[in-house]
């Protein structure tokens, strides 16, 4: 049986239900007509989740609320799905925007269209206190043939494979909490996720006996990768993307973005470099 909290997370208000009649127009036009838009979230903190009161929150939903309200969409409802299902379900039309801290990669750009970079978040490792296996880089994990926990569908899997980590070293888990248990119980040597996510997990689990390493610079084809995340929409939703990007850029430039995201552990260091573009991140071969 679904709990009340789960029902609240998936509930669609009367206004959003009206969207089921699918009025004509683009996603933005339909959202303006009914006054609400559906977003996809994955439950990964601090990026997108539902709090104990049933409110959809996290850094990206809170930024999206402000941006969407300024482009004429005051209502926001969320559908929570496993991370690896976010893009397939977006393409299927179950929601119109992904707000889940998803890293922009060339492979994902072939599936969907991304907003301008929203933030940069480097990966790190979750290890037992003292870091007994000495985990510091993905290459080190590969060389020592260590067992590494990763969440299904995340870019940390790509970073690990690019560094030479073999599939038999990877242990696929469903969530941050499962990763924490796997490391704590010694079933894996380390877990890999963004440092922001791992620090958030430890804050909520004091006394776990685990620590988070320094951030790691990932590579692809021997070149450094900037792990920048954005919001995702279906290809062809050019009006939604253009208006969303305009207001997101204004939030970042004004300092309001930092005010919104600071409660979730973000700092100025997480702001994307001004010269970084989505086109750069989507290009298969970047200089």
Same domain, 24 and 72: yes
CATH number at residue 250: 3.40.190.10
Name the residue among 225, 216, 192, 212 with its Cα closest to residue 103.
225
209 DSSP assignment: S
**Tokens linked to 98:** 């992904």
Q: What is the pLDDT at residue 222?
A: 83
Q: How sure is the predictor about 22, in pLDDT bands with cuts at 50, 70 and 90?
A: low
Cis geometry, peptide bond prior to residue 46 (ω within 30 degrees of 0): yes
Note whether residue 133 is domain-resident: yes
Burial of 259 (0-12, 13-18, 19+ CB in 10 A): exposed
Instruction: Say whether both 14 and 38 belong to one domain.
Output: yes
pLDDT reported for residue 19: 41
Q: Which domain holds residue 172?
A: 123-224
Binning pLDDT at 50, 70 and 90, where does residue 3 land? very low
Task: Write down the mean pLDDT value for the chain.
Answer: 92
Overall domain count for the chain: 2
Residue 31 shares a structural domain with residue 104: yes
Residues 104 and 132 in one domain: no
Residue 199 lies in a domain: yes
Is 13 a residue whose pLDDT tops 90? no
* 61/231 Cα distance (integer angstroms): 10
Q: Is residue 286 part of a domain?
A: no
Rounded distance, CA 151 to CA 110, Å?
A: 21
Contact indicator for 149, 94 with CB cutoff of 8 Å? no
pTM of the predicted protein model: 0.89
Where do runs of H (alpha helix) occur along 56-184? Answer: 59-70, 86-91, 106-111, 138-143, 155-162, 176-184
pLDDT at 287 over 60: no
Query: Is there a single domain that holds both residue 192 and residue 204?
Result: yes
Q: Residues of 142-173 as b/e, b for ≥16 C-beta within 10 angstroms?
A: beeebbbbbbebbbbbbbbbbbebeeebbbeb
Q: 24: pLDDT confidence band, cut at 50, 70 and 90?
A: confident
3-state secondary structure of 146: coil
142 shares its domain with 184 = yes
pLDDT at 11 > cutoff 80: no
Residue with tokens 């004091």: 206
Q: What is the pLDDT of residue 10?
A: 40
> 114 and 69 in one domain?
yes
Q: Give residue 91's pLDDT.
A: 98
């Amino acid at each position: 049986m679904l709990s009340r909290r789960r029902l609240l997370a998936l509930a669609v208000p009367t206004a959003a239900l009206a969207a089921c009649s699918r009025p004509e127009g683009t996603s933005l036009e339909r959202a303006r007509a009914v006054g609400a838009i559906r977003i996809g979230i994955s439950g990964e903190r601090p990026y997108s989740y539902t709090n104990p009161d049933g409110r959809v929150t996290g850094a990206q939903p809170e930024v999206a609320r402000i941006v969407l309200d300024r482009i004429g969409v005051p209502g926001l409802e969320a559908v929570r799905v496993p991370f690896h299902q976010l893009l397939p379900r977006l393409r299927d039309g179950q929601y119109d925007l992904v707000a889940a801290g998803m890293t922009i990669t060339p492979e994902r750009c072939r599936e969907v269209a991304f907003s301008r970079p929203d933030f940069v978040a480097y990966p790190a490792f979750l290890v037992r206190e003292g870091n007994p296996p000495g985990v510091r880089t993905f290459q080190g994990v590969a060389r020592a043939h260590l067992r590494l926990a990763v969440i299904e569908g995340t870019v940390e899997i790509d970073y690990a494979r690019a560094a030479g980590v073999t599939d038999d070293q990877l242990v696929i888990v469903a969530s941050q909490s499962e990763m924490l248990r796997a490391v704590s119980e010694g079933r894996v040597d380390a877990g890999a996720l963004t440092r922001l996510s791992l620090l958030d997990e430890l804050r909520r689990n004091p006394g776990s006996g685990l620590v988070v390493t320094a951030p790691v610079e990932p590579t692809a084809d021997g070149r450094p990768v900037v792990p920048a995340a954005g919001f995702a929409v279906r290809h062809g939703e050019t009006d939604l993307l253009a208006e969303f990007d305009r207001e997101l850029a204004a939030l970042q430039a004004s300092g309001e973005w930092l005010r919104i995201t600071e409660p979730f552990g973000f700092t100025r260091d997480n702001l994307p470099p001004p010269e970084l573009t989505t086109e750069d991140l989507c290009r298969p071969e970047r200089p």
